[in-house]
Structure 1
C-alpha cells in the first residue's frame, strides 16, 4: 500500500504542477480545446475520447462505491471533471482509511461488512 500511496502522491504533485503552468500559459479554456480535438477526428481527439471514457469509469466507480448516494453522485461528478487531481487525493484518503485492506478500498466499507 505504501508504493501505491507514493505513486498517488507523485501523480498529485506532478499533475498539479503541470496544470498550474498550463493554466498560467493558456488560461482555463480547456473544454473548447478538448472537444475541438475530438471533433477533428484525429489522434489527439481519439486520445481525448479514450481519456474521457476513463474519467467516466472513475466517476461511475466512485459513485458506486458510495452506493449512488447524493454524496456519492457529487463525488462522481467531481471525479469526472477533476480527473487524477481528484482521484489521487480521494485514493490517498481512502487508502489510509482502508488500513491496507484492498477489499475495503475497492468496494467501500458498506459492502465489506458481514451480515
Structure 2
C-alpha cells in the first residue's frame, strides 16, 4: 500500500508539474500572441511609412524629371528660335534700309519736282 501511496504522490506531483507547465505555456502563448499583435501593428506602420517614403521619392523624381525636361525644352526652343530671330533681325535691317532709301528718294524727288515747278513758273 505504501507503494501505491508513493505512486499516487508521484502522480499528483507529476500532475502539479504538468499544471504548472500548462500555466506557463498559456502565459507564454499569451505573451507570444501579444508579440504577434505588436509585430503586426509594427508591420502595418512600416508599410504605411514605406508608402509615404515611396510617394515622397516618386514625387521628387517626377519633379526632377519635369525640371530637366523644362530645361531641355528651353534649350531646344532656343535652338529653334535663334535662327528665326536672326532672320527677323536681318529682315528688319533690310526693311529699315529700304525705308531710309525711300525717304532719301522721296526727298530728292520732291526737290526735283519743286525745281521743275520753279522752272516752269519762270
TM-score by length of 2: 0.24
Larger Rg: 2
- With a CA cutoff of 8 Å and minimum separation of 6, indicate the structure with the bigger relative contact order: 1
Structure richer in helix, relative to its length: 2
